[in-house]
Chains A and B, each alone.
Chain A
């Protein structure tokens, strides 16, 4: 059987319409729930703010464990620019290629900037000579 008759005989129209509807419903529902995430996080973190602050010793320990990223001016913009480059390259990415692309795009001091991102574990090796972006 061929043609429109085959589609009707096999319930094709109904399956397609319902199928599209279900896919849209699923992703629409998910997107609506995701829109609530910032409020949900606010509620959760709002509770956290009322907790007693950690002791001085614990604070010192936490500070020592943190890997500090030297706060350059416009650091967020720098991180965003590198993120764009990496997204364009795809992950895992080649570190020397990232340096080259950053240099060609006129980003200031790409070598030391990338070193800072590595030290802050924003860029991490994948164990095979390529690197991954670990956004937080």
Chain B
């Protein structure tokens, strides 16, 4: 994926070319197969994913879940949001492709560049706002483990 293609994703639309280039350096397009898990609940949040294609389900220990179907949707955002460990488990419902970002590198960029961090976090919250409250209410179970 090129920097220009990355800039077309909603999450990075407001970034300048140089900012997007910083992000591009830490991401990798990865193919996933049906039933493959992107991350497991309770594990340290190392990787942040942006969906390029395919369909996914994120579920929690109490059996609740939500699904993701659109290009540009985000999952694994506990990488940049407390408690910095996955509050749910993400699994691919169909084969597809995701953009994986190294979590610690992304966090370093976000924490080190307030303007860039503000743009990305604003987009994250706009994109996943309804899921954050839902998942963080389940974060209690994870952090107690």
Contacts and interface: CB of A to CB of B under 8 A. Distances in A.
Q: Do chains A and B touch in the complex (CB under 8 A)?
A: yes
B49 to A, nearest CB: 17
B69 A96 contact: no
B93 A96 contact: no
B60 interface: yes
A122 interface: no
Chain A residues touching B, majority SS:
helix
A94 B64 contact: yes
Interface residues of B, number: 19
B20 interface: no
Contacts of B59: 94-96
B125 interface: no
B92 to A, nearest CB: 7
Interface in B56-107: 57, 59-60, 62-67, 69, 89, 91-94
Interface of A: 94-97, 99, 109, 111-112, 114-115, 118-119, 125, 128-131
23 contacts: A94-B63, A94-B65, A96-B59, A96-B63, A97-B63, A109-B34, A111-B35, A111-B57, A111-B91, A111-B92, A111-B93, A112-B93, A112-B94, A118-B55, A118-B93, A125-B66, A128-B64, A129-B62, A129-B63, A129-B65, A129-B134, A130-B64, A131-B65
Interface of B: 34-35, 55, 57, 59-60, 62-67, 69, 89, 91-94, 134
